[in-house]
Structure 1
Amino acid sequence: MAFRLKPALIIIILIGCIIISYSSFMKGPVMRYHVETKTEENESSQLQDVDNSSVIVNETKEELSAKPAEKPVKPSLLSLIQSIPLKAVENQTDKTSQGILTESLYEAGYDIPNVDLCPEFGEGLKVLVGVMSAPSHEDARRAIRYTWGHYALQKNIVLGFIVGNSKIASLNAITAEESTLYGDIIRGNFIDSYDNLTLKTISFLSWIDNYCSKAHFILKTDDDMFINFPKLLSFIDKHWKTEKTIHGRLAKKWKPIRNKRSKYCVSTKQFSQAVFPDFTTGPAYLLTGDIVRDMYTKALKSTYLKLEDVFTTGIVAQALNIKRVHVNEFINKRIPFNICNIKKSISIHMIKYHEQFDLWKKLSDGRSKCK
């Protein structure tokens, strides 16, 4: 009599075979997971400094850290981890940390120059304002145009937004459309990122030298700043005859961070000294127009540093013997929005785009008095 297996028993045997096969398959990946985890820990400093990939990397690491090591990781997630080009990230970070000249990184020119923004090379121009902005910060630019930026309607004031190119085509389309509507976008030939902030300022200096060289003063600021324009213009009038000077919030005796895990790490090949030269902090500073060309030229021949303010108003300015003067009214931090603070300040930092309207209303309201 032939021996026949019951259907239920056949199903149990098949399931057992599948489990054994799957376990064998997973042993290799789980072991590789342990190796990859150690590799990620060793190279975490490089990963933290990459804007475009850090979101994916950090989210993946958080998911893994929440799971016990003995539990199998889904192959799809593991494949994502193994596909992260750690060495490529490391090489990108190391490129500037090895100490290279800025001119090897900088590409001159603009795909949106808006040369007509500054008529007659700035003849008779009291102040040119360059607002450093990111392509995605459309709301911030709009808020500035509708508040303190409207001072640019005066003939002796010009305001432009300095941006780079985005890796996202739709964001480039936004800045191109804004340029058509307002004519105030200056887009340089660089990728807009934190590591390229210094290139953004150099691009602005080059634009001034080529198209607005007769501007008497230049305010470099960010799109999260509130500028008290009446106060700024009053300050300029009092210092009209000043030459070869940068006015702003002076930072003294700052030391380089050597920790490779830090976003602000500076290697000894980039800057070997123990203390930075005095510099004016980046959110807002005011330059006299007579130093622009020299600063641009010297910047290109200097070792690149992504710390824009340290590089531009510290290292480059020091090499050119340019004076840096502390001005209390440059408040490059967030402060309470009371009327006294607003009226006494030239600049206030960390302003959300919708807060620009509140600050502007308080400043413009003649009934509000500072006691």
Structure 2
Amino acid sequence: MALPPSPPRRPRRLLLLLLLLLLCGASALSLGVLFLAGGAHEALLSRSLPYLLPPSRGRPFSPSSCAPLLPSAEAFLLAPAGDPCALRTPFLLVLVASAPDHAARRQAVRDTWGGVLWAGGRPTRTLFALGVPSEPSQQAALEREAARHGDLLQGRFLDTYANLTLKTLALLGWAATCCPGASFVVKADDDVFLNLPALARHLGALPSPPPPYLGRIHWWVRPNRDPRSRHHLPVPLYPGDAFPPYCSGTAYVLSGEAVPALLGAARHVPLVPLEDVFVGLCARQAGLAPLHLPHMAGSEHFPPDACCYREVLFSVHGVVPAEMVAVWEEVGTHEGACSAWQRALGLVRCKALAWLAA
């Protein structure tokens, strides 16, 4: 008796081929998600910016030329006594933009990351920059705070949102004049948690000369033309359709050599009231390309997590004083906070936590 014919093998082969294609597609999708969520594409894109910038068109700043550049802030009402960088030149000079009525935020920074003198085996120094309060009664409190801590820089301008650019010019002018040997200058807001050890290790491992301008890049943001918005930018002040790439003002890093170059370029840039945009415009004028650091959170808030705050992120924005102290205590008690799988996922895991908490 003849055996029945065996079924054709082609459908089985097609099924195996389809399964293989599905597995390859899923793997490619997973790698793409990791690549995009981790910010690697932005970091690669930012590396092309130096080839797209015009040559520098500003003379470097020197202390002798401070007065013409900063007519309202060349002298400070309050400043650290003596030479704060004479004893130990900081690797990281952290200048925190604050406001007169933010005493609780400043104290939280002092009690946590801003109170350390060494980070990643390198010296650091943290100071606070602010302007003149609208309420005269607040000035006496600021003078007592300055006498107690010796870490306030108070410029001769009214402390308002519109004057944030003056505040940045004042703190950078002070850095170039009074602490020119700092390897890096970090500008941060007073509601930012900075992971100084991780940041110092990253910056210390960069090739020489280091990138001049680093942070979370905002790409081709359009100016706000709504006169009711505090971000309003009239056309005569900035007629362009979009800003060049610039680093988020919540926290960014400048090399020591970039600071005088930025101040020199500032003479040729319109004084737009958006300080991070202004710094980006000065950087473009000076021929300094921003480099994207995906581990800087920008304006995104990450929920408290010992692994993210200790080993992954360099900065976190929107941290209130109580949360800052609690996170600092938790991070300090979790040696080796990340497990192997958490470390492998890194920034992708932290972004997923932020997305779930939003």
**TM-score (structure 1 length as normaliser):** 0.68
1:1-371 map, 5 Å = 106-116=72-82, 118-120=84-86, 124-152=89-117, 156-239=123-206, 241-243=208-210, 245-312=212-279, 314-332=280-298, 333-343=300-310, 344-366=312-334, 369-371=337-339
CA contact (8 A) 1:115 1:211 kept: no
Residue by residue over 1:117-150, the C-alpha shift from the partner in whole angstroms, topping out at 9 and shown as x without a partner, is 5233x86421100011101111111111111112
**Deviation (angstroms), 1:340:** 2.5
**Deviation (angstroms), 1:301:** 3.5
Identity of aligned residues (%): 27
Residue by residue over 1:251-303, the C-alpha shift from the partner in whole angstroms, topping out at 9 and shown as x without a partner, is 11111112222221111211111110100000100110001112123223321
* Structure-2 residue corresponding to 1:27: none
* Structure-1 residue corresponding to 2:41: none
**Matched length:** 268
**Deviation (angstroms), 1:103:** 5.2
Structure with greater Cα Rg:
1
CA contact (8 A) 1:117 1:158 kept: no
Larger mean CA deviation between 246-255 and 147-156 belongs to 147-156
Question: RCO (CA 8 Å, sep 6+): is it higher in 1 or 2?
Answer: 2
* Structure-2 residue corresponding to 1:37: none
**Deviation (angstroms), 1:107:** 3.8
Question: Structure 2 vs 1, CA of residues 104 and 301 (structure 1 numbering), >3 Å: closer, same or farther?
Answer: farther
Work out the CA distance in 1 between the residues paired with 2:70 and 2:129.
Answer: 21
**TM-score (structure 2 length as normaliser):** 0.71
Residue by residue over 1:217-259, the C-alpha shift from the partner in whole angstroms, topping out at 9 and shown as x without a partner, is 0110011011112111111211262345111000111111122
Residue by residue over 1:14-37, the C-alpha shift from the partner in whole angstroms, topping out at 9 and shown as x without a partner, is xxxxxxxxxxxxxxxxxxxxxxxx
CA contact (8 A) 1:103 1:301 kept: no
**Deviation (angstroms), 1:370:** 2.1
Residue by residue over 1:297-345, the C-alpha shift from the partner in whole angstroms, topping out at 9 and shown as x without a partner, is 3223321111100111x11100111020100110122112122321210
Question: Structure 2 vs 1, CA of residues 325 and 181 (structure 1 numbering), >3 Å: closer, same or farther?
Answer: same
* Structure-2 residue corresponding to 1:87: none
Letter in 1 for 2:266: A
**Deviation (angstroms), 1:199:** 0.3
Work out the CA distance in 2 between the residues paired with 1:107 and 1:288.
Answer: 22
Work out the CA distance in 1 between the residues paired with 2:112 and 2:275.
Answer: 27
CA contact (8 A) 1:111 1:189 kept: yes
- Mark the runs of 5 or more structure 2 residues left unpaired by the alignment: 1-67, 340-358
CA contact (8 A) 2:331 2:337 kept: no
Work out the CA distance in 2 between the residues paired with 1:105 and 1:269.
Answer: 23
Larger mean CA deviation between 281-290 and 145-154 belongs to 145-154
- Mark the runs of 5 or more structure 1 residues left unpaired by the alignment: 1-101
- Structure number with higher helix proportion: 1
